[in-house]
Amino acid sequence: MQGKTSLRLFLALFTAGFIVFLYGPMVVLSILSFQTGPEGGPQFPIIEWSSYWYRHLLGWAAPSRVAPLDLGPALLRSLALALATTVVATVLGVLSAQAFRRRFRASGLVFYLIVLGMIVPGILVGLGVALLANMLGLPRAWWGSSFVVHVVYAYPFAFLVMLAVFNRFDRSLEEAAWSLGVSPATTFRRITFPLIFPGVLSAMLFSFTLSYDEFSRTLFTAGGQQTLPLTIYGSFSVEIHPNLFAFGVLTTLASFTLLAVYGALMALTLRRARSVALQEEIR
């Protein structure tokens, strides 16, 4: 009895420490983003609570010695790169997982080759692609070489998510459609895809988040036009002001909004699936 109590206490302390380690930095940055400006810096204690750095970030504050952050173009590049990576990696993941529903020659080797993209250190992948681009005389750009390495990185995650979804998929539904003369393409569009749609959403979310904040693979491949993580890193290397923390808070809120949209779509999809199943039982 005493041993169980000690184990529960240890697990509770471990969980509490993990939560503090996970969310503590976000809480600190959120507090510092409300430091007064422009004289207030990234240090405790807070001189005075203010929304100055949010107004400074949005261009609503009076001109001061702190230059405005020019993150707009980098943010647009990161969003465009993440969206393109999401589309390509998810499509490749769905098609690859669909192919793995049947055993084929060298399927084990192909599986490990796909998964290799998430195991190799990102800094080595980025450096290798940069050297290869230089050897071939190709320009390095966020829409070219960075896009390739992002897809190589996100694709295995989308593939594994869809592989898990297809492993639980009831093949008899497709076989029933085929027995009625429905073509494979129509079967996939009308039966398979609606059933795997929650998994597709998960794969898209994985791909987007992995690409949006990817740093090491982009460092050597983005060329002159940098993405958001590289621009923020460059700002840190010069001087740190709380406007970066305010930007971090706003992007975190945007991420939570994205998760909320994802949750709403998942709930809507599951509710629709239950409704269809209930109608089938009534018939």
CATH at residue 179: 1.10.3720.10
Question: Rounded mean pLDDT of 111-134?
Answer: 87
| pLDDT tens, position by position, 127-136 | 888 899 888 8
Whether residue 275 is predicted with pLDDT greater than 80 in this model: the reply is no
Number of structural domains the chain divides into: 2
Q: Is residue 208 part of a domain?
A: yes
Q: Are residues 95 and 194 in the same domain?
A: yes
What is the reported pLDDT for 244? 82
Candidate from 55-59, 78-82, 227-231, 260-264 with smallest mean pLDDT: 55-59
Q: Which long-range contacts (CB under 8 A, 24 or more apart) does 147-152 make?
A: 147/81, 147/84, 147/85, 148/221, 149/122, 149/125, 149/217, 149/218, 149/221, 150/81, 150/82, 150/85, 150/89, 150/210, 150/211, 150/214, 150/217, 150/218, 151/85, 151/88, 151/89, 151/92, 152/117, 152/125
Q: Are residues 3 and 131 in the same domain?
A: no
Whether residue 274 is predicted with pLDDT greater than 80 in this model: the reply is no
Q: Are residues 91 and 175 in the same domain?
A: yes
Q: Are residues 20 and 93 in the same domain?
A: no
Q: Are residues 35 and 151 in the same domain?
A: no
Q: Is residue 39 part of a domain?
A: yes
Domain that holds residue 206: 71-238
Q: Angle, nearest 10°, between helix axes 193-212 and 145-167?
A: 140
d(CA 270, CA 142): 37
β-strand partners of 49:
35
Question: Rounded mean pLDDT of 235-240?
Answer: 73
Whether residue 231 is predicted with pLDDT greater than 70 in this model: the reply is yes
With CA atoms as reference, report the closest residue to 126 among 235, 217, 33, 239: 217
Question: Rounded mean pLDDT of 227-254?
Answer: 82
Q: Are residues 9 and 91 in the same domain?
A: no
| pLDDT tens, position by position, 46-73 | 888 888 888 887 777 777 777 777 778 8
Q: Are residues 114 and 206 in the same domain?
A: yes
Q: Give percent of the chain above pLDDT 90.
A: 21
Q: Are residues 141 and 107 in the same domain?
A: yes
For residue 70, what are its two tokens? 């020019």
